[in-house]
Chain A
Amino acid sequence: MKLSVEGLNSYYGPAHILFDVALDVGDGEVVALLGRNGAGKSTTFRSIIGLVEQRTGRIVFEGSDVSDQPTHAIVSRGLGYVPEERRIFTDLTVDENLEVGRQPVRPGAPHWTREKLFSLFPNLGEMRGRAGGSMSGGEQQMLTIARSLMGNPSLVLLDEPSEGLAPKIVEQMVDAILTMKEAGVSMLVSEQNLHFARLICDRAYIIERGRICFSGTMRELDERPDIRDAHLAL
């Protein structure tokens, strides 16, 4: 098992957000975390890598318990995080953004170089000296994924990678994610867009009001239109 989360509870101040969230991601697997706006997808991701400090539960990554470790230690073990808001360093160039993400080569995880990333996202290769702030939304989304891959992660948490992108860019994103999967990167992808998830994911969890309310393969989900209609806005 690549990542296993058990009994995760998170809080913002006095507000209880996540309730006993449990999920697994296997080696090389791409798993979807589906749910509406505000269901708790981003909080789940932020809790896993320790950006939400008020949390309890067990987070096991590649066999070791990382629940008590600070964010940078969790990430530098090879657990990449691509935030929904993208959070590009707007004053830094594309090259410099990638430099911030660079980490040593990790045994057992695919090794990414700038050249490989530029062939994965050709647009980026053409604007290496451009400031992050002057890029389009789609380009920023590619840069934020490439930046995380510079850390040679074995698992990436992708928070709503298709959000707000033009259909054409979404297609490119699907290709890129499938290439990453082929290379051996496991992924946990949060999505509201079921069609997008269907193209890239093996399994899915549905989260609603901070609770996991469905777990199964994409096919099992397709066989349960009731669940889909109840928990996912289409």
Chain B
Amino acid sequence: MAFYVVQFLTGLASAASLFLVASGLSIIFGVTRIVNFAHGAFYMLGAYVAFTLTERFSGAIGFWGGVVAAALIVAALGVLVEMVLLRRIYHAPELFQLLATFGLTLMVEDLVVLIWGPSDLLGRRAPGFKGAVDFFGQNVPSYDLFLIGLGPVVLGALWLIFQRTRWGVLVRAATQDRDMVAALGVNQKWLFTSVFALGVFLAAVGGALQIPRDAVHHAMDLRIIVDVFVVVVIGGLGSIIGAFVAAVLVSELNAFGILIFPKISIILLFLVMAAVLIVRPWGLFGKPEVTARRTPGLTVNPWRPLSSKGRLAAVTALLLAATLPLFAGNYALTVGSEIAIFVIFAASLHFMMSVGGLASFGHAAYFGLGAYGVAFLAKMAGLPMITCLLLGPALALAGAALFGFFAVQLSGVYFAMLTLAFAQIVWSIAFQWVEVTGGDNGILGVWPEKWAASPSHFYWLAIGVAALAVAVLRNIVFSPFGYALRATRDSPRRSDAIGIDGKLIQWTAFVIAGTFAGIAGALFAYLKGSVFPDSLGISLSVDALVMVLLGGVETVSGAVVGAIVYKALSIFLVSQTDLSKLILGGVIVLVVIALPKGIVGVLETIRQRRRPRPEPPLLASRIGTAE
């Protein structure tokens, strides 16, 4: 019995940091509507800076002063980020903000390794809380008891700030209606900056307080951000109480899940999250979102099927690409195959994201499932390659059907966070279930059969499948199903009113996109001859997002161009530098700020400008209805 109580107390202690970080994320989201992906990075920076300060200055003042100073320093950094980066993109679509803050996260990960080195750092114990309290023969660290007390204290302090100060009242008002707050003479800029500073401060305190409990390392940002996303999805974005309750819930699930399913404790978390989402899609303490105003399109170019000229150009480009083996070496062909595979992957995400309006932050899950599907079939069942390629993506299809069902119940940032959480869960299973997946060692020896083994043959196979996949997806865009999907994206209520079952349509689109991602993953397994959990990882999901954005979200086939440019660039970068994350993160941030329309979007705009276009008849009617 005492053991369970101790386990419960450990869970509560972990909840403190989780609550600090999650409440910070929630507060920032409430006012700025930005889901700050970099929140995990600020948490990590808090821990690193606190580590350095507490090593430098000794004694109780050194330690506690160091923790507070670290949080202040990181908060100042947050202010800088807000003023330089976020202020430029408050009006951009949500996706861009998530992506920009993700770019920051990548940069911080590399910077942290540059400054503090790659190895784990063990921090000092907290002065005054070094011992343990005996509890029916079990030891409970007194520091844990301190953390357990801290959570409610912070909750109370935040409540007082938001209920009893003018600043708090303004923040709550801005959470509901930013424009009206400005129309009452309040300068939102500083309100936003101060809110961001408070949120980052909380995250950094959360990180700094972890140093006596855990080693400081450069992957702690992604580990916490997934838990934090789960917390805010369960608790409800924007609710501080929700963050508190959900943080306790998630921490306890983690603490006891390890006892019940030692290998795959995260399953429990998934089940609880799914249950909450079915009952209350907006979280335990959240409010149902008012039908979000759709961010107006960046371009007004209507989508059209390719003209015969365009088709000819596409076929010519494909034929040209097919001549590559005539003059290029094996390395170039392998790179070419990889690019072709990523064209499929990016096109599948583009289908879901641009056509369906469902921006997934965990699309790699289906890529990886396809790859593992092939690996299982080839290694365990010993099936021939063609059969594996055809059946392997079925695992992705199944995964997309399961997760997609829950995900499409939500929209916007909730959708993005949920897909990310799902992907991370799949990743954890692949990573932890060593008996089946080989864990970190992956599954090796998935080689293509003789007919596809030579680089040139495999290359032809890859570009053939890629061309077919892109063509099929394009055809779906201009099919009745595609129209229904786009109608649901543009106006869920109106399409509902003409009898379109929006959720079913979106779920179908999710499954289609997941299956195509699985096809890409299946080819990828054969290209590499092996499968690792990386194929399900967050960074791969984000790669796909960047490809789509780089090509242009609001284009029909920008993803193809985006995938080619981005993959070629990143293969080049990785071969040239060790700081690929830093550079990649920088590129993402730059793309978001400088190229919101993407490469193809920019090209289209230039073409549109050159061509004198007739006044669209739509315009007259818009004037009539707009006031």
Give Cα A81 to B623, complex, Å: 24
- Quick check: which of A89-97, A181-189, A197-205, A217-225 contacts chain B, the rest being far away? A89-97
For residue B83, give the distance in angstroms from its CB to the closest CB of chain A. 16
Query: What is the size, in residues, of chain B's interface with A at 8 Å between Cβ atoms?
Result: 27
Cross-chain contact of A43 among B177, B181, B627 (Cβ < 8 A): B627
Q: Quick one: CB contact mask for B144-173 with A, threshold 8 Å, 1 for yes? A: 000000000000000000000010011011
Q: Quick one: CB contact mask for B164-194 with A, threshold 8 Å, 1 for yes? A: 0010011011011101111111111000000
Cross-chain contact of A75 among B170, B175, B182 (Cβ < 8 A): B182
Cross-chain contact of B627 among A39, A51, A89 (Cβ < 8 A): A39
Cross-chain contact of A83 among B183, B300, B619, B625 (Cβ < 8 A): B183
Cross-chain contact of B185 among A12, A42, A72, A97 (Cβ < 8 A): A72
For residue B327, give the distance in angstroms from its CB to the closest CB of chain A. 48
Residue of A nearest to B188 (CB): A72
Are B626 and A89 in contact, CB atoms less than 8 angstroms apart? no
A41 at the interface (CB under 8 A from B): yes
**B298-314 with Cβ < 8 A to chain A:** 300
Contacts known (A96-B172, A100-B169); A72 close to B624, Cβ less than 8 A: no
Are A99 and B185 in contact, CB atoms less than 8 angstroms apart? no
Give Cα A147 to B183, complex, Å: 11
What number of A-B contacts does a CB cutoff of 8 Å give? Answer: 88
Residue of A nearest to B180 (CB): A87
Contacts known (A15-B619, A87-B177); A51 close to B169, Cβ less than 8 A: no
Are B186 and A92 in contact, CB atoms less than 8 angstroms apart? no
Give Cα A101 to B166, complex, Å: 11
Give Cα A59 to B548, complex, Å: 43
A151 at the interface (CB under 8 A from B): yes
Task: Give every chain A residue within 8 A of B172 (Cβ-Cβ).
Answer: 89, 91-92, 96
Majority secondary structure, B binding face:
helix
B617 at the interface (CB under 8 A from A): no
**A66-120 with Cβ < 8 A to chain B:** 70-73, 75-76, 81, 83, 87, 89-92, 96-97, 99-103
Are B627 and A42 in contact, CB atoms less than 8 angstroms apart? yes
Are B185 and A76 in contact, CB atoms less than 8 angstroms apart? yes
B622 at the interface (CB under 8 A from A): yes
For residue A232, give the distance in angstroms from its CB to the closest CB of chain B. 16
Task: Give every chain B residue within 8 A of A15 (Cβ-Cβ).
Answer: 619, 622-623, 626
Give Cα A96 to B174, complex, Å: 12
A17 at the interface (CB under 8 A from B): yes
Task: Give every chain B residue within 8 A of A42 (Cβ-Cβ).
Answer: 627
Are B184 and A83 in contact, CB atoms less than 8 angstroms apart? no
Cross-chain contact of B177 among A72, A73, A89 (Cβ < 8 A): A89
Are B185 and A151 in contact, CB atoms less than 8 angstroms apart? yes
For residue A20, give the distance in angstroms from its CB to the closest CB of chain B. 15
Are A72 and B186 in contact, CB atoms less than 8 angstroms apart? yes
Are B627 and A101 in contact, CB atoms less than 8 angstroms apart? no
Chain B CB count within 10 A is highest, among A70, A71, A99, for: A71
A63 at the interface (CB under 8 A from B): no
Q: Quick one: CB contact mask for A20-48 with B, threshold 8 Å, 1 for yes? A: 00000000000000000111111100000
Name B residues whose Cβ lies closer than 8 Å to a Cβ of A.
166, 169-170, 172-173, 175-177, 179-188, 296, 300, 619, 622-627
Name A residues whose Cβ lies closer than 8 Å to a Cβ of B.
12-17, 37-43, 49, 51, 70-73, 75-76, 81, 83, 87, 89-92, 96-97, 99-103, 147-148, 151
Give me 17 other A-B pairs in contact (C-beta within 8 A), A42-B627, A91-B175, A92-B176 excluded: A12-B622, A14-B619, A16-B623, A38-B624, A51-B182, A51-B183, A70-B182, A72-B185, A75-B182, A75-B184, A76-B187, A91-B172, A92-B169, A92-B173, A97-B173, A100-B184, A101-B185
Q: Could you name 9 residue pairs across A and B whose Cβ atoms are closer than 8 Å?
A: A13-B296, A14-B300, A14-B622, A16-B623, A17-B627, A71-B179, A72-B182, A72-B186, A97-B173
